[in-house]
Amino acid sequence: MASSPAFDVERLAQGIRSGDRTVLSRAITLIESKRADHRSTAAALTQALIGATGKAVRVGITGSPGVGKSTTIDALGAMLTRQGHKVAVLAVDPSSRRTGGSILADKTRMARLATDANAFIRPSPASGTLGGVAAKTRETMLLCEAAGYDVVLVETVGVGQSEIAVADMTDFFLVLVLPGGGDELQGLKKGVVELADMIAINKADGDNLPRAKLTAAEYGAALHILKPASANWSPPVVTYSALKGDGIKALWTHILDHRKKLTASGELAARRGEQQVKWMWAMLEERLFAPLRSDRALKAALPKLEAEVAAGRLAPATAVEKIAEMLEL
């Protein structure tokens, strides 16, 4: 980076607004950096671009391994770019410490988008903590929107709380399911089903079609029992085939219908406002906890404090005071 943060911010902001993919990639690398000087520059950059964000359709996508997330994203994204949209694909993968994150391997399974000038694929930083990864993905989403990408697909490739993180940063949460009937219904966490704005059963083709229809009926019955997350939307259950492209257009139609209804009711604006506040607290929490992972003296002291608390020799409140004192809080 150049010595003048103000110059860097202005140059990066201009490049991003013009849709320069190289500048966008460089800016995202800046966003992901843990250096203090980079962090302040990144904050200035997102502030400079905030007025150019918020216009994209934000879709979160999750599903168990093998469900066909990459194939679905490739088919949906390719359809959208043919329609004139610009599509950004991001990932939330807090569990991955593999080089580059697993979505880089997925690029080979997103054959059309990987070579599409109107598509941009970016992995999440493999930083290990969900709060940090989610915050960086949110900021990356804003940069992509400022660069003119009007559809942002956020894929959760991790496990556990990553589904909640993705639901908390998108407008529409799409849960993908394999034809599997009751076993599949049991395997998918109830919490994920409750978050869903739509459940889509993939691989509904050939011999799988009857099972896919049965699975759709079972999920429909399950959703009928659950209270919808929105008073303005009843989550549909649909079948489709990502491989053949059947039903892909219908997925997008439902997403647009959801957006239209929630925009009209004011719920979309309210939801995004709440998400922004959650983003602020997630970033603050990450900032406060960063020394616990990076300060050598503090990292060395924590196991002893934990042992003393576990043995009953040190009160938890006293341990917290000691940690806060080391953090200079």
pLDDT, greater one: 188 or 90: 90
DSSP state of 123: P
* Beta strand spans in 123-231 (E): 151-156, 172-177, 198-201
Write the pLDDT tens digit of every residue in 286-303.
788 877 777 888 888 899
3-state helix, strand, coil in the chain (%, to 5): 60, 10, 30
Q: How many CB atoms lie within 10 A of CB 300?
A: 9
Question: 138 vs 96, which has greater pLDDT?
Answer: 138
Question: How many whole angstroms separate alpha carbon 218 and alpha carbon 241?
Answer: 19
Distance (Å, whole) CA 103 – CA 93: 9
Region 110-121 average pLDDT: 93
Cα of 203 vs its chain's centroid, Å: 24
- Strand, coil or helix: what is 239? strand
Distance CA 202, CA 205 (A): 9
Set out the domains of the chain in order of their start, with CATH numbers. 1-52 (1.20.5.170), 53-279 (3.40.50.300), 295-327 (no CATH)
The arithmetic mean of pLDDT across residues 256-279, rounded, is: 95
Contact 105, 138 (CB under 8 A): no
Neighbours of 185 (CB within 10 A): 16
Q: Which amino acid is at 323?
A: I
Contacts of 289 (CB under 8 A, 6+ apart): 129, 131
Q: Which structure tokens are listed for 17?
A: 């607004």
Beta partners for residue 91, in sequence order: 155
Distance CA 143, CA 99 (A): 23
Single pTM value for the model:
0.86
Tell me the pLDDT tens digit for each residue of 10-63: 999 999 999 999 999 999 999 888 787 888 899 999 999 999 999 999 999 998
- Burial bucket for residue 19 (CB in 10 Å: 0-12, 13-18, 19+): middle
